[in-house]
Amino acid sequence: MNKITKYVLYDIVRNRFVMGYTLLLLAISMSFFSFESDPNKGLLSLLNIILMVVPLVSIIFSTIHFYNSYEFIELMSAQPLSRKAIFLSEYLGVAASLSLAFLVGVGIPTLVFGGDQSSLILIISGLLLTLSFVSLAFLASVITRDKAKGIGLALVLWFYFSLVYDGLVLGILFSFNDYPLEKAMLVLTALNPTDLARIMVLMKMDISALMGFTGAVFQDFFSTNYGLLVALFVLLLWVVVPVSIATRIFQKKDL
């Protein structure tokens, strides 16, 4: 399986778009850390950018790449390889290259300038966010054969998780503010990978006081190692589940 992954990786690493993405991330991280004297503030600003940019680039690039590789995937499926191996190799290739871009663009500067526990959490959650949006992109790509529809679906997913979802949650909070919603909020957070990543980093930064009572509940839950592990696990589910469903669909799909 890793036979194909290696070459998919070779191909993408030399892709101009991915190079540009790496440089963009690098520029963003460097500027935040050099403008802010307090590395924690830099980290916070960086977090906000990452939560928008990383999912967007991951999901759009992966979807476009999948459709552009369609003939190549067809050719591979005429070789003595199982569909599953082909699909997962493609996934691993794309995921590895975007993770690499993230590690170079955000990981290295963050470790150099920040270096405490919260920067580590930022890197881990950023990586998992990359993986889960690549995973969602692969799901969007196998659902429809039409490239425009696929990219549209990917964009809708990004809009939903990055913008719409928070609005919905706020709406729920306002409509039901007579009820104790803290537990429900925990569950709602788990249903969105971007929120999970955000909460994981914020909780490590001791700024939950700014978040009111719900923040206190979150603090109680997520700042413990147990809570962090649960959050990590749920984020991992966001990586594994979409790509497994996508693999199932791909195995039965007509190419």
The DSSP call for residue 140 is H
Sole binder of another protein in the list 12, 46, 217, 235 (CB under 8 A)? 12
Cα 83 to Cα 9, 75, 164: the distances in Å are 19, 11, 35
Residue identified by tokens 């659902």 is 143
Helix 16-35 with 83-102: angle, nearest 10 deg: 30
CB of 4 to another protein, least distance (A): 7
Sort 17 into a burial class: Cβ within 10 Å, 0-12 / 13-18 / 19+. Answer: middle
Sole binder of another protein in the list 23, 27, 52, 82 (CB under 8 A)? 82
Q: For residue 121, how many C-alpha atoms fall within 13 Å in the half-sphere facing its CB?
A: 24
Q: Is 81 in the site for another protein (CB under 8 A)?
A: yes
Q: Is 206 in the site for another protein (CB under 8 A)?
A: no
Cα torsion angle, 12, 18, 23, 27, sign: negative
Compose the 13-42 pattern: x for residues touching another protein by CB under 8 A, - for all others. Answer: -xx---------------------------
> What is the token pair recorded at 193?
């990978």
CB of 107 to another protein, least distance (A): 24
Alpha-carbon gap, residue 205 to 36, rounded angstroms: 16
Residue identified by tokens 């290295």 is 108
Sort 16 into a burial class: Cβ within 10 Å, 0-12 / 13-18 / 19+. Answer: exposed
Sole binder of another protein in the list 74, 116, 206, 220 (CB under 8 A)? 74
CB of 77 to another protein, least distance (A): 5
> Which one of 6-14, 28-36, 41-49, 148-156 is the stretch in contact with another protein (CB under 8 A)?
6-14
Residue identified by tokens 């790449």 is 65
Q: Is 72 in the site for another protein (CB under 8 A)?
A: yes
Alpha-carbon gap, residue 108 to 115, rounded angstroms: 10
CB of 75 to another protein, least distance (A): 6
Q: Is 183 in the site for another protein (CB under 8 A)?
A: no
Q: Is 233 in the site for another protein (CB under 8 A)?
A: no
Sole binder of another protein in the list 23, 75, 112, 236 (CB under 8 A)? 75
Sole binder of another protein in the list 62, 63, 69, 135 (CB under 8 A)? 69
CB of 16 to another protein, least distance (A): 9
Sole binder of another protein in the list 7, 176, 226, 233 (CB under 8 A)? 7
User: Which residue's CB is nearer to another protein, number 74 or number 220?
Assistant: 74
Q: Do 103 and 183 form a contact (C-beta atoms < 8 A)?
A: no
Residues that bind another protein (CB under 8 A): 3-4, 6-8, 10-12, 14-15, 68-72, 74-83, 252, 254-255
